[in-house]
Structure 1
Amino acid sequence: MIIHGAVKDITVEVVRRNPDDQGKNFVPQPKRWVVEQVNGTLMLHRRLARDYDHRPDNAASRVYWASTAGMLRRLAPPTAAWRDDVEPAA
């Protein structure tokens, strides 16, 4: 991974686990947590959960699509749910 980063002119920082955390169930690692959160968010989109596409450009376009959908959801003002418009029965 470090060699691949050097070829692409990207600085790669290796995050080692703390030896004091041995035996603990879950300890989030710095920076790695952000990457795993992004991957988990992208996996919420059905087409990205499985490897359906055989062409890398198709897969890349679906990642852009999923990222754009998430960004728009955060930027858009909250809307009322369809149930909020229904008047209660008397």
Structure 2
Amino acid sequence: MDPRAPRYKQIEIPLTVTNEAGEHIQCACVNISESGALLHVTQDHQLQKGQRLTARLVKGGHLADVTMRVERLDGDGVGVRFLRDD
């Protein structure tokens, strides 16, 4: 990353995830990496550790369905890990 690139704090990117029951859950993505993300759930949904979610994200320059698993639930938000396609 270019050290001159601007760094932003408190940016939340809107994201809709879908749970295994097909319910759409509105979230705000506050941190994302190659392996996972930190989400703030903006609706009153009960997520559980180990639960699988899907979302449409840009991957390799194209929209792709990405599956993730809830790894942690705490005051910082919902930590999810992206699952590989294989």
User: What band does the TM-score fall into relative to the shorter chain?
Assistant: under 0.3
TM-score relative to the length of structure 1? 0.25
TM-score relative to the length of structure 2? 0.26
Pick the structure with more helix per residue. Answer: 1
In our comparison, the structure showing a higher alpha carbon Rg is 1
Greater RCO (Cα-Cα under 8 Å, separation 6 or more): 2
